[in-house]
């Protein structure tokens, strides 16, 4: 099998998780990473080099014959930062899906590009997932659930609802009840149980989850 030559754009802590999962994904050859900080160039992350600044990605694609990329930037700088980066990089190079072999992905689910589904995740029949989403270990996207773009589903999350809007974070151990929706740009706190629809741009937590305040824009 000819391996796809890929890069990770952004060398934050999230890139460590991707590197760890890639060890189990033989279809990809990780050429290296890129960074937004000149001072990080040539550093190594778990043996892989930070090859260049993000602004030099077009040259890197040509010189190293890169086939695809995935975002290595996590939640630290917020979901907007991720959006800003992928909006620039997507037109240059294809975002690829990294799906760990232990992810139970229904062949009747629809998924976009640039997604990262960690080990021991479940994507059920009829689920629809957009682009550039992260689904962390032991989380389940259940039957018919819709997930927008650039959504972060942390560990041990259960989604049995209707729709999760784009750029939303669902933190560890939270669950969204049957037929319930969460808006865009929301943060659902750790362990929350969302039993009623949440509008766009709110922070909510607790059981049952209550809106605490708006997300700062
Ligand atoms: C949800 C979140 C925005 C809350 O932040 P915050 O409002 O600054 O919360 P604070 O830490 O200041 O805590 C304020 C109060 O809310 C409580 N609280 C915070 N998160 C809570 C939660 N998930 N459930 C219940 N109570 C919570 C605190 O105990 C504290 O209570 P107190 O006033 O009685 O002491 C923040 O925890 C967050 O961003 N979580 C998401 C983390 C994430 O991105 N996870 C994914 C990692 S991959």
Please work out whether the CB of residue 171 comes within 6 Å of at least one atom of ligand 1: yes
Total domains in the chain come to 2
Please work out whether the CB of residue 203 comes within 6 Å of at least one atom of ligand 1: yes
Of 34, 67, 89, the last residue of a domain is: 89
Distance in angstroms (rounded) separating the CA atoms of residues 141 and 189? 17
CATH number at residue 158: 2.160.10.10
Q: What is the pTM of this model?
A: 0.96
Distance in angstroms (rounded) separating the CA atoms of residues 118 and 169? 16
Would 213 be classed as within a structural domain? Answer: no
Long-range (24+ apart) CB contacts under 8 A made by 74-77 are 74/12, 74/13, 74/14, 74/17, 74/134, 74/152, 75/14, 75/152, 75/169, 76/12, 76/13, 76/14, 77/12
Per-residue confidence at 34, pLDDT binned at 50, 70, 90? very high
CB 169 within 8 A of CB 79: yes
Supply the residue whose CA is at minimum distance from atom 11 of ligand 1: 189
Question: Does one domain contain both 80 and 105?
Answer: no
CATH number at residue 76: 3.40.50.720
pLDDT for the residue numbered 138: 98
Distance 217 CA to ligand 1 centre (A): 18
Host domain of residue 136: 98-206
Of 34, 68, 89, the last residue of a domain is: 89
Q: Could you tell me the sign of the dihedral formed by the alpha carbons of 143, 149, 155, 159, in that order?
A: negative
Sheet holding 128-129, edge to edge: 110-111, 128-129, 146-147, 163-164
Question: Does one domain contain both 77 and 175?
Answer: no
Distance 189 CA to ligand 1 centre (A): 6
Distance 216 CA to ligand 1 centre (A): 15
187 DSSP β-pair partners: 169, 203
Question: Does one domain contain both 107 and 79?
Answer: no
Question: Does one domain contain both 77 and 110?
Answer: no
Question: Does one domain contain both 77 and 116?
Answer: no
Backbone angles phi, psi at 182, to 5 degrees: -120, 135
94-129 per-position pLDDT tens digit: 999 999 999 999 999 999 999 999 999 999 999 999
């Amino acid at each position: 099998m000819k391996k796809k030559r890929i890069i990770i754009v952004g060398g934050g802590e999230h890139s460590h998780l991707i590197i760890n999962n890639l060890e189990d994904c033989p279809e990809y050859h990780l050429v290296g990473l890129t960074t937004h900080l000149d001072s990080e160039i040539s550093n190594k992350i778990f043996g892989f080099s930070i090859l260049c600044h993000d602004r030099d990605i077009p040259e890197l694609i040509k010189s190293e014959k890169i086939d695809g990329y995935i975002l290595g930037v996590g939640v630290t700088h917020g979901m907007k930062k991720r959006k800003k980066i992928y909006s620039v990089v997507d037109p240059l190079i294809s975002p690829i899906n990294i799906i760990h072999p232990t992810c139970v992905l229904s062949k009747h689910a629809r998924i976009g590009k640039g997604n990262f589904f960690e080990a021991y995740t479940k994507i059920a029949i009829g689920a629809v997932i957009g682009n550039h989403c992260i689904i962390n270990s032991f989380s389940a996207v259940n039957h018919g659930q819709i997930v927008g773009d650039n959504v972060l589903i942390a560990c041990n999350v259960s989604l049995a609802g209707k729709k999760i809007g784009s750029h939303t974070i669902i933190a560890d151990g939270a669950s969204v009840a049957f037929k319930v929706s969460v808006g865009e740009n929301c943060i659902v706190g750790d362990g929350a149980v969302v039993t009623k629809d949440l509008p766009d741009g709110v922070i909510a937590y607790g059981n049952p989850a209550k809106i605490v305040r708006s997300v700062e824009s």
